[in-house]
Structure 1
Amino acid sequence: MPTRSAAHKYLKTVKKEFQDNPGKYNTFLKVLKDFEAGRIGTNAFITRAKDLFNGKQELLLGINVCLPEGSAITIENDQNPPKTSLTFSDAMRFIRKVKTRFQDDDHSWNSFLNSLISFRKDHKSVIKVVHEMTVLFQDHDDLLEEFSLFLPPSFAKKT
């Protein structure tokens, strides 16, 4: 189990890496806080960190100090990521799942739909949609984690 000092050392490394881009560091801190508070799951946390770190191996490996046992990132896994392609059916299944979950909460269901429609028609940024979904799904880790599977790998770069 990593020590608190190892975690602090890792955060200093990340901060130094992004000294010219404090927004990226702050985004990482928010994602880390969401993970630690249980608002996002391990897979969503790893996915977002990989997107933020954009292949920086030392940062990806260092993130292991933040992960629970058995969830460590390895170089082999990062060099050969599993290829999964989501289909329209997967998207529809997820939408039905959200609709079922919020069947008694019209406001949340409408917020979900409006966010997706705005993204598609009004060209709302992916970052903005991710933020809205993080708030909307704050008590529904499984939905947030599944939603993250539909995000493009470079979503953190689009603001």
Structure 2
Amino acid sequence: MSAFRIVRRTGLDVEEAWAALTDFEAHGDVVPLTRLELDPGPPRLGWGLHAGTGVGPIRLWDHMIVTIWSPPPRIDATPAEFRVVKIGRWLRGWAHVVIEPDGSGSCVKWTEEVLPRFDPVPRLSAPLSRRAGERIFSRTVEGLLIRAEAADTLR
């Protein structure tokens, strides 16, 4: 199994952290060499996004669909969460993000598994996929939260 978890605490409240992490267009600003194409309308259950990573016309496209969409505020006090499943030709896996209140801010728990769709030797590729995923998505989460914190400070 190649799942990994990123945990970040932030001064942003749950709604602000949710807004930062679900601004999927902004993911392309913090993930190197990546461009996003989004389904029309706001994110919701069944909504799709397509991330193309590469240079110029040479890109590998990662197609994803939202399978859980539970935004804040939660009347029943359960955490805000979303889940995206990778359904593309090149990658398989999922990302599950949970955002909970934490003192005066919030705690983000981003758990993800990403593997090549065609994986002849999973025992070899899983550790590499996990390390690469941890590095890329740690930077993604951190970058999105830092941008939102900076914008919050300017208000």
Q: TM-score, normalised by structure 2?
A: 0.26
Structure number with the higher strand fraction is 2
Larger radius of gyration: 1
Q: TM-score, normalised by structure 1?
A: 0.25
